[in-house]
């Protein structure tokens, strides 16, 4: 009975192969496919013809994969080739990755979903840089099982000494990285020794051949069955029937109807009312099933939100502390802007810091490096424009991984693994206490606002220096207070005299300036006041992050773009800063040597030139009344 069950439901093992060029990877894969009878007859005929022979003896098995690889290498990009084969014990998906150093990114792609990694070592050459690189990537991506196949043993006369020397050298390296299971197998892919059948020419090796070992690898315990994570991919609505469902794929764990859940990053609680598929309702949805989930309450859920249990939730973060493998010719350095794709959510980011780069040969951490070059692996901090719900990668691959995309080219430039929950490098990041808990007021917001007779909000005035933001903010504050409405102006220059006095004007400091100001404004708005922020805030990413801070507190955020032409601002130049920038005395000045990213869809767009201050104030206050009227 157990055998029948094994045949009907064989385990699926995902394998990634790696190794340096000419280590014999293609021949090994061909041998596995050939000896497991996973090759169609027409493929055999083609390989026989290319090998110059018509029989099965003397086939060049590397041609089974090299033909595909040569075809791929004709294009502009190199992708991972997947091969499928099966034995009575198990099914296999084998990701074949190129061995060239410049295609290290493909090792990352293939290993990201793998349970096991086969790294080939040429017995004549021993452990090379690519061997260490691929092993380190496998450990970084938490591939649990690593198989070191010491190939071409036939070319070293089946030497036991050569085998043990390589085992000893690699074991020293493996002891410094996190790999749970390392197995060494001496093979000859060309001759077939220890690939599928045991070798008679290496009697000193008493372990199983490669295929037998792969059939026995245990992976059931590696699946995350504890953390229920459901990233929403699509909102399904039917106005006629008032149907609302949320489609997506269970990333990990399981959910059932009746489970109390929370929707992140917003934090709204509700209950799962039903779980549906095309074939009908389910009593449970477990990873990796794709389902449509319905909720008991009509809460605001959008693509990119994540549904999880109330008592088991990921961290909601505004920054990513992560390890990344850099895959672009253009290096990564501080201040660069990208987009991060995490599960189904896409968020703009700015590089806050390159913490260190790792030398894959020595595993030395170089903290003096200012950038990551192609194929470099390093630790970085990325500041997010909107919060993400993440787990540490070591705990949950699905919600602990992400990719980094260049918006200009739509190119994937990095793969990343979240390091949430790991210690910060000493002295490199702001210390954050781990024992602080938000202390809620006994007075609800509704009670406070009702008592004040007004609702709070933030007016965020952005524009070029000398566009007229401060003048407008000052007049708005006077008008609102005179009319009996609590309001307070947060001017950028004033804040730099105190709260933000320690910040400069580089990209990272500007982002931190906006972040601090946004939190202060959001607290004022929560209290029922109108916070009037006057800040250049030149980058769309930073303004989006400020909006996200308010969305987390569920208070209105009204972006006001004071639209004044650069030549008008420069002509005004009340502080003489434009003149200094033109003379090169200020290195990073918005509008001259630094860009200003115009808001795409502000709640109000005010002409800072050619209109009266009265008209400008009226326009902004009208926008305020639409979003946050004085009385609820």
Distance CA 490, CA 392 (A): 37
583's tokens? 């003379």
- What lies within 8 Å, CB to CB, of 555 at 6+ separation is 456, 457, 458, 522, 525, 526
Contact indicator for 490, 469 with CB cutoff of 8 Å: no
Distance CA 445, CA 466 (A): 36
Cis before 288? omega within 30: yes
Distance CA 324, CA 403 (A): 9
Give the CA distances from residue 580 to residues 466, 470, 570, 584, in Å, rounded to whole numbers and listed in that order.
14, 21, 11, 6
1 burial class (0-12, 13-18, 19+ CB within 10 angstroms)? Answer: exposed
CB atoms within 10 A of CB 69: 16
Q: How far is CA 605 from the centre of its chain?
A: 34
Identify the H or E element spanning 621.
Answer: helix 613-627
Distance CA 94, CA 13 (A): 8
Rounded to 5 degrees, φ, ψ at 424 are: -80, 145
Contact indicator for 329, 374 with CB cutoff of 8 Å: yes
From the candidates 38, 470, 537, 593, give the one annotated as an active-site residue: 537
Contact indicator for 555, 522 with CB cutoff of 8 Å: yes
Distance CA 195, CA 189 (A): 7
Catalytic residue status for 537: yes
Contact indicator for 185, 150 with CB cutoff of 8 Å: yes
Contact indicator for 41, 139 with CB cutoff of 8 Å: no
Q: How many CA atoms lie within 13 A of 165 on its CB side?
A: 12
Contact indicator for 444, 455 with CB cutoff of 8 Å: no
Cis before 132? omega within 30: no
Evaluated on CA atoms 34, 35, 40, 42, the torsion sign reads: positive
The owner of tokens 């569920």 is: 554
In terms of DSSP bridges, do strands 285-286 and 254-255 run parallel, antiparallel, or are they unpaired?
Answer: antiparallel
Catalytic (active-site) positions = 537
């Amino acid at each position: 009975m157990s055998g029948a069950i094994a045949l009907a439901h064989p385990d699926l093992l995902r394998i990634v192969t790696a190794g340096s060029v000419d280590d014999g990877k293609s021949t090994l894969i061909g041998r596995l496919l050939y000896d497991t009878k996973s090759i169609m007859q027409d493929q055999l005929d083609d390989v026989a013809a290319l090998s110059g022979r018509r029989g099965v003896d003397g086939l060049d098995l590397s041609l089974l994969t090299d033909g595909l690889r040569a075809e791929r290498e004709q294009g502009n990009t190199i992708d991972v080739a997947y091969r499928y084969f099966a034995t009575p014990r198990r099914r296999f998906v084998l990701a074949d990755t190129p061995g060239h150093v410049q295609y290290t990114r493909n090792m990352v792609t293939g290993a990201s979903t793998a349970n096991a990694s086969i790294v080939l070592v040429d017995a004549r050459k021993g452990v090379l840089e690519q061997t260490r690189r691929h092993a380190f990537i496998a450990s970084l991506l938490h591939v649990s099982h690593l198989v070191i196949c010491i190939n071409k043993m036939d070319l070293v006369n089946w030497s036991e000494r050569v085998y043990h020397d390589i085992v000893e050298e690699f074991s020293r390296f493996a002891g410094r990285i996190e790999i749970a299971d390392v197995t060494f197998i001496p093979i000859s892919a060309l001759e077939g020794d220890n690939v599928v059948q045991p070798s008679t020419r290496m009697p000193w090796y008493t372990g199983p051949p490669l295929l037998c070992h792969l059939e026995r690898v245990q992976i059931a315990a590696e699946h995350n069955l504890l953390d229920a994570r459901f990233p929403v991919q699509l909102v399904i609505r039917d106005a006629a029937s008032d149907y609302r469902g949320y489609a997506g794929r269970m990333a990990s764990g399981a959910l059932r109807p009746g489970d109390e859940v929370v929707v992140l990053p917003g934090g709204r609680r509700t209950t799962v009312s039903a779980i549906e598929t095309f074939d009908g309702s389910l009593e449970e949805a477990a990873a990796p099933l794709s389902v449509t989930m319905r909720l008991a309450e009509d809460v605001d859920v959008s693509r990119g939100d994540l549904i999880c249990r109330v008592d088991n939730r990921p961290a909601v973060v505004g920054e990513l502390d992560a390890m990344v493998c850099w895959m672009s010719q253009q290096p990564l350095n501080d201040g660069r802007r990208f987009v991060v794709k995490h599960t189904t959510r896409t968020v703009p980011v700015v590089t806050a810091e390159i913490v260190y780069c790792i030398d894959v040969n020595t595993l030395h951490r170089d903290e003096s490096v200012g950038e990551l070059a192609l194929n470099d692996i390093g630790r970085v901090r990325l500041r997010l424009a909107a919060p993400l719900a993440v787990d540490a990668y070591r705990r949950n691959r699905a919600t602990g991984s992400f990719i980094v995309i260049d918006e200009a080219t739509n190119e994937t430039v990095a793969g990343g693994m979240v390091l949430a929950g790991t210690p910060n490098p000493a002295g490199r990041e702001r210390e954050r206490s781990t024992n602080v808990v938000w202390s809620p007021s006994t007075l609800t917001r509704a009670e406070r606002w009702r008592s004040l007779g007004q609702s709070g909000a933030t007016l965020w005035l952005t524009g070029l220096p000398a566009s007229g933001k401060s003048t407008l903010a000052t007049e708005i504050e006077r008008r609102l207070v005179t009319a009996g409405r609590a309001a307070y102006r947060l001017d950028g220059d004033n804040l730099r005299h105190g709260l933000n006095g320690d910040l400069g004007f580089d990209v990272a400091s500007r982002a931190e300036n906006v972040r601090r100001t946004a939190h202060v404004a959001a607290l004022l708005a929560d209290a029922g006041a109108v916070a009037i922020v006057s800040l250049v805030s030149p980058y769309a990413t930073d303004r989006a992050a400020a909006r996200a801070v308010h969305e987390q507190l569920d208070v209105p955020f009204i972006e006001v773009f004071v639209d004044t032409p650069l030549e008008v601002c420069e002509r005004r130049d009340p502080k003489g800063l434009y003149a200094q920038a033109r003379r090169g005395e200020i290195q990073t000045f918005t509008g001259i040597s630094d860009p200003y990213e115009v808001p795409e869809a502000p709640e109000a767009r005010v002409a800072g030139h050619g209109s009266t201050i009265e008209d400008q104030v009226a326009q902004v206050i009208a926008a305020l009344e639409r979003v946050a009227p004085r009385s609820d």
